[in-house]
Amino acid sequence: MKKKAVNIGIIGFGTVGTGTARILLKRRREIEEKCGFAIVLKRIADLDIKRDRGINIPKGLLTSDSQSILNDPEIDIIVELIGGIHPAKEITLSALKKGKNIVTANKALLAEEGRQIFKEAAKNRVEVGFEASVAGSIPIIKVIRESLVGNRLSSIFGIINGTANYILTEMTESGVNFETALKEAKELGYAEADPTFDIEGVDSAHKLTIMASLAFGIPFSFKKVYTEGITRITPLDIQFASEFGYKIKLLAIAKQDGMDVELRVHPTMLPADDLISGVSGVFNAIFVHGDAAGDGIYYGRGAGEMPTGSAVVSDIVDIAKNVVSGAGKSIQRMSITDNTGLKIKKMEDIRTGYYLRFSALDKPGVLSKISGILGSHNISIKSMIQKGREKEKAVPLVMMTHVAREKDMIGALKKIDRMSVVSGKTMYLRVEGEEG
Ligand code: HSE
């Protein structure tokens, strides 16, 4: 052991920065006892060093000059908690070039610019810890990279955005519409002032990109992730889903089948008795199937000051151990190549079951026309509900189908939506968790 203390600098003193500082200061003695060396929070940089975060920061720790952290030769690990791409990218690259290890919670930065970040880290023989970038306190990065390292992973899917899950849970349990549930999420501080990334699935797609790269060794493929959010979900669909025995969840799905990889984020109907369906409110859960380990589910808090701070501290401690022992310099932590031969499937080639809600006139022959079009596109109906009876008026006609190809479904719906007896655009949702 060469060193008895590892110095840390935090850049970005927002929610996660505050949680991280709180844990490092409060648990300093325990961490030292567990590790055998001290982890010292040496400096915290933020543009706003006046705001009271409800935490006692020792004098002299705060600075508004991030360069003073980047240029401090005594700092071994820089914790980037600014979020977003700029200036986080520039600060991270500059830190790596200076030989600093990085710990980050920045999923957008890794999903979109990960190639450059990890290349620079490898060049400078330093590490990038990113446990906090996916699913907050759930140690899913460790699970994929370390615990299941002896497995071939074929399926990773789950709820990795707490805001969207809170909204869908509220819509399911209180029967409110999307707008009301979003307003509540904002009032409770779960949704950002601009919640676009959460409700449009972008945040989940960032996190899925990172997990898929780790699991399959493929390059960061954020641009190839099919991404659809929850804004078009109505209380009516939630109610029908429940009548068929399903729940609607925003799922992030990564599957490997032969040389094909599926990467998609969209609202999904899951059997109500599936363990993932029982994940409520802001909680996250991720299902992973490994060929040796079998099925596993990892559950916990995916956001917030202390849960995400907890994940940041776990990376700090891991990397600090390597700083102390010198092992970090020889460890290759990220194994991503362009040569896996794996191909990301086009969305039109995906095969799933579907839920369809037509708004169709209640008159003789309508159902047979709709089912005729579905049949001619190789789509087989599994079950059906028609609600209400209003002569010559449109009523909801709801179907569940057997597994079909997305391209066939899109083609069939185009034709069905042009029928004069069908009003408005047909609502469709993909269904997981059932074969056939
Ligand atoms: N906005 C994210 C969520 C948390 O709602 O889960 C940070 O990744």
**Are both 105 and 185 inside the same structural domain?**
no
Residue 183 has which token pair? 């307003």
Q: From 263, 282, 300, give the residue that closes a domain.
A: 300
User: Which has the closest alpha carbon to 133: 162, 109, 117, 167?
Assistant: 109
Q: Is the Cβ atom of 248 under 6 angstroms away from ligand 1?
A: no
Predicted local distance difference test score (pLDDT) of residue 330: 53
CA dihedral (279, 284, 289, 293) positive or negative:
negative
Is 249 annotated in the active site?
no
Kindly tell me if the per-residue pLDDT of 2 is higher than 60: no
Q: How far apart are CA 220 and CA 222, in angstroms?
A: 6
In a domain, 406, yes or no: yes
Residue 215 in any domain: the answer is yes
Task: For ligand 1, pick from 167, 198, 301 the residue to mutate: most ligand atoms within 8 Å of CB.
Answer: 198
293 and 183 housed in the same domain: yes
For residue 201, pLDDT beyond 60: yes
Give the pLDDT confidence of 227-260 residue by residue, as tens digits. Answer: 999 999 999 999 999 999 999 999 999 999 999 9
pLDDT at 333: 61
Is 80 exceeded by the pLDDT of residue 436?
A: no
341 falls within a domain: no
**Tell me, what CATH number does 213's domain have?**
3.30.360.10
pLDDT, the chain, mean:
94
Enter the tokens of residue 276.
């993932």
Residue 1 has pLDDT above 70, yes or no: no
In whole angstroms, what is the distance from residue 427 CA to residue 45 CA?
Answer: 48
Q: Are 158 and 239 members of one domain?
A: yes
> Do 76 and 198 belong together in one domain?
no
pTM of the entire predicted model = 0.96
Give dist(CA 222, CA 212) in Å, integer: 10
Residue 246 lies in a domain: yes
Band (pLDDT 50/70/90 cuts) for residue 392 is confident
The pLDDT score that the predictor gives to residue 326 is 85
Compute the distance from residue 332 Cα to the ligand 1 centre, in Å: 29
Residue 420, domain CATH: 3.30.70.260
Confidence of residue 391 (pLDDT cuts 50, 70, 90): confident
Active-site choice (42, 89, 207, 255): 207
- CA separation for the pair 241, 233 (Å, rounded): 11
In a shared domain, residues 97 and 34: yes
Of residues 248, 256, 296, 238, the one with CA closest to residue 431: 248
Q: Is 138 exposed, middle or buried (0-12, 13-18, 19+ CB in 10 A)?
A: buried
- Strands (DSSP E) along 3-46, which ranges? 5-11, 38-45
- CA dist 257 and 432 (Å) reads 16
Residue 84 maps to a domain? yes
- On whether both 353 and 223 belong to a single domain, the answer is no
- CB contact at 8 A, 337 and 367: no
Cβ neighbours of residue 290 under 8 Å, at least 6 residues apart? Answer: 148, 151, 152, 153, 154, 296
Average pLDDT over residues 8-32: 97
100 plus 160 within the same structural domain: no
What is the 105 CA–ligand 1 centroid distance (Å)?
11
Residue at 323 is within a domain: yes
Say which CATH number the domain at 42 has: 3.40.50.720
Q: Is 303 in the pocket of ligand 1 (CB under 6 A)?
A: yes
Tell me: the pLDDT tens digits for 313-365?
999 999 999 999 988 665 546 667 777 899 999 999 999 999 999 999 988 89
1 within some domain: no
pLDDT of residue 362: 86
pLDDT at 98 over 80: yes
The number of distinct structural domains making up the chain is: 3
Q: Which run of H or of E encompasses 128?
A: strand 128-129
**Looking at the structure, do residues 175 and 274 belong to the same domain, yes or no?**
yes
Can you tell me the mean pLDDT for 61-65?
Answer: 97
Q: What is the pLDDT of residue 387?
A: 80
What is the distance of C-alpha 166 from the center of its chain?
A: 14
Structure tokens at 324: 């102390």
Give the integer Cα–Cα distance in Å for 125 and 327: 10
Q: What is the mean pLDDT of residues 71-79?
A: 98
pLDDT in tens, 273-325: 999 999 999 999 999 999 999 999 999 999 999 999 999 999 999 999 999 99
Domain housing 358? 347-431
- Residue 275 CA to residue 161 CA, distance in Å, equals 17
